[in-house]
Amino acid sequence: MKIAILGGGSAGQGAAGCLALGGHDVRIYNRIEDFEMIAPVAESGKLKVSGVMEGTAKIQKASSDIETILSGIDCIIVTARAFAHEPIVKGCLPYLEKNATIVIFTGYWAALRLQSLLSEYQRKDITIAETTLLPLISQMVKPGHVKITGVKSKMRITAYPASKTLQVHKKLSSAFPQLFPGKNVLETGLESFNPALHVPIALFNLGQLEKKIDSFEFYCDGVSPRVAKIIDGVDAERMSLIREFDLDLMTVRGMLQDYYETEGDSTYDVLRNCRAMKGYVLPNPFNYVQEDLLYGLVPMASICDLLGFPADTTKSLISSWSIVNSVDYWGEGIKVDKLGIDGMSSKEIVELVMKE
328-355 confidence digits (pLDDT tens)? 999 999 999 999 999 999 999 999 999 8
Average pLDDT over residues 165-172: 95
Give the model's pLDDT for residue 279: 85
pLDDT > 70? residue 30: yes
Among 25-29, 51-55, 155-159, 273-277, the range scoring the smallest mean pLDDT is 273-277
Distance separating alpha carbons of residues 133 and 169, to the nearest angstrom: 15
Q: 281 falls in which pLDDT band (50, 70, 90)?
A: confident
Structural domains present in the chain: 2-190 (3.40.50.720), 193-354 (1.10.1040.10)
As a whole-number percent, the residues of the chain with pLDDT over 90 amount to 88
pLDDT tens-place string over residues 283-321: 889 999 999 999 999 999 999 999 999 999 999 999 999
pLDDT of 356 > 80? The answer is no
pLDDT score, position 213: 87
* pLDDT at residue 258, rounded to an integer: 85
- Distance, CA of 288 to CA of 333 (rounded, Å): 14
Strands (E) in 52-134, as ranges, are 55-58, 61-63, 75-78, 101-104, 127-131
Torsion, Cα 340 344 350 355, to 10 degrees, reads: -60
Position 280 scores a pLDDT of: 83
Burial of 348 (C-beta count, 10 Å sphere; 0-12/13-18/19+): exposed
Asked whether 1 and 73 are in contact (CB, 8 A), the reply is: no
Q: Please tell me the distance from the alpha carbon of residue 71 to that of residue 268, in angstroms, as a whole number.
A: 47
Q: Band of the pLDDT at 116, cuts 50, 70, 90? A: very high
Per-residue pLDDT tens over the stretch 52-75 = 999 999 999 999 999 999 999 999
Q: Using N-to-C axis directions, what is the helix angle for 225-244 and 194-203, rounded to 10°? A: 150
* Mean pLDDT on 213-217: 89
Residue 317, pLDDT score: 98
